[in-house]
Amino acid sequence: MRTPSSQMVRSSMVPEVMSGDATSGGMGRAATAEARIITANRDFYRQIAEKYDRYESCVSNAHLQEILEADLDKIHSCFTLLGRTPRCLDCGGGTGNLALKMLARGWNVTVVDVSDEMLGVLETTAAAKGFSPRLISSPIAQFLTSTSETFDLVAFNSVLHHLYSYTRVAELAVARVGPRGFFYSNCDPAVPRNSFWARTFETLDITAAKFMLDPRDILPGIWRRMRKFVRRRDSLFGRAVVSVGDLAEYHARTGVDDAQIICLLEGCGFAIVEHQRYPWGRTRAAQFLNERLRLLENFKIMARRAEERVHMQQNGIHFVDKDLRGNPESKSPGGFSQAGPSPMRNPLKRLEEKWKYLKAQESFQQAPVLIASRLISWRARCLLQKPAIVNFPKWNVRMFLPAEWRGVAKLVFAFREDYEPEMAYLDKILSAGQVFVDVGANLGIYTLPASKIVGKRGRVLAFEPSAQSFPLLEKNIALNGLTNVRAFPAALAQKNGRAWLFRGPNPGLNSMGKDPSWKEQGEEIVTESLDQALQQAGIDRVDLIKMDVQGAEELVLRGASNTLTSARPVIIFEIWPEGTALLDLPPYGAWELLESAGYEFFVVRRGEMYTARTPPAGGNVVAIHKQQL
């Protein structure tokens, strides 16, 4: 957004709303404490506004700037689906460390800050770059309480520890995040593990930083610390207060409880995309030592709100626009229809089926006690709501698994690298420098090892439309620091458009066709054709495609006709007649389409591939073009 000048709204234009337990006789202690901290922040930043960008590590540290840029890129990849300019709120934006990065991406940015001087620096910098943010001079809680606006992103950057009640402000901020919008916070100190050693280390770090960056404040700083030894504690705050900085940096030494923020977000229906603690320091020496000692840690949280919307129905077909409707009367892939009622299965029959499945797994046959013990352990974790991070040593990757008994997390925890035979075989059909497309990526079960196999010269594109699974996919990508992966919150189909994704008993069963026994409703999703998605991503070839889309594999292939013709990639896909029936598609439509395109078929058993002359009743199949054999 580039216009001649910024819009400034002063605090006098915003109604005064104070937090706390105000009584009819006047403000209570909490409100009084908050008012003093707000005043201290105004005075503190009036003094340091001009030198802030040179001195503060959250602005001057190059690594932190890289983290911010990478996080905004992740959010931006989701904003491309909005179809309009994103509306963003930078709370406590100050001189614009975060806001300027948002503006550079073309977003509509509102910055609220208590300091006129800090906003003045931002106004000057933004004008020089041709940007025009909307600037609000006001306490954050006051603005959030008074406004009815919603935003696609509400962000805090090194702000929460300046607030008297950061949980209350976070709660107000969450209320201002629109559907599918993001809450983002970074560069705030976490609660230290050992307060004494953390304070000692921080004192040395601050002293070294002042010698390097602000030597004129060394003697005044020593004098302030000496006064604290003789100054009586302030009865309102339970600490000695000798300068405005002691109140402005209110939670700097005690830290911000990031677990409280996480609980608040999850309680408000947000999915945690990323939650990370990392060591920090003002000087390079402190950063080097702290990477090993971890005495001082900052944290970042990225979370996304889910979206619930009523969908349209027409002739049994579930869509939200015309792009994918096709012919409702036809049995062709052009229309998604609802399958007829499925009979309820006997619980004993289901248990027998599960036992047969378990006995058929090669890893269970080789190590039954180990697999059984893992399943028992996972059941206990689910009861305790304790998620896990499992290691895949073969590819040197880790995977976060939510504590859910139903779904793939249980199987991944139990079988690890042997989750599916095709997964263990991945190294033989994928190599360094190649391009891998994961359609229906779920938690990233194939995405993570594929990323390691293709290496830095290769590319991985992961598509996952579910709001339940996509944040976990992004979490696992971030957990492993993968830079060659792009994740898309979209489903692949035969056309670009929008459709309705019904939620099954677990996220792994989500489908664009509804089983009548499912109680969950669903969500509106974006659909893309693979051909157009690759073109937009600048990818001119694909070497391997994995599809696990609950019966919609034929639809994906019909949107990938150019790719199949030009690249002839190897394709791993699932045959699941029960899933195709929900979509009113033929049970082996994907097989028949690939067969007509010149592909031959194989199944993986015990680490080797065997030719499949006819479609199996179910399970995964590997399709390889005749010219690639």
Tell me: the pLDDT tens digits for 206-259? 667 666 666 776 676 666 666 666 667 776 666 666 677 778 888 887 889 888
Helix (H, G, I), strand (E, B) or coil at 7: strand
How many angstroms separate the CA atoms of 445 and 236, rounded?
Answer: 52
User: Is the whole-model pTM more than 0.85?
Assistant: no
Q: Which residue has the tokens 């030592």?
A: 289
Tell me: the pLDDT tens digits for 30-79? 788 888 899 988 998 888 877 776 656 666 677 788 889 999 998 998 88
**Contact yes or no for 469/503 (Cβ under 8 A):** no
Tell me: the pLDDT tens digits for 301-318? 999 986 433 333 333 323
| CA angle (580 as vertex; 337, 592 as ends), nearest 5 | 120
- CATH homologous superfamily of 7-305: Vaccinia Virus protein VP39 (3.40.50.150)
Tell me: the pLDDT tens digits for 109-133? 999 999 999 999 999 999 999 999 9
CATH domain 312-628 topology: Rossmann fold (3.40.50)
* The pLDDT of residue 502 is above 90: no
- Domain positions in the chain: 7-305, 312-628
Tell me: the pLDDT tens digits for 422-439? 888 899 999 999 999 999
Question: Of residues 360 and 612, which shows the higher confidence score?
Answer: 612
How many angstroms separate the CA atoms of 606 and 626, rounded?
Answer: 24
Same fold, 7-305 and 312-628: yes
Tell me: the pLDDT tens digits for 343-354? 344 567 677 777
Q: Which residue has the tokens 């979370």?
A: 303
- Beta-carbon contacts of 607 under 8 Å, excluding residues fewer than 6 positions away, are 421, 424, 425
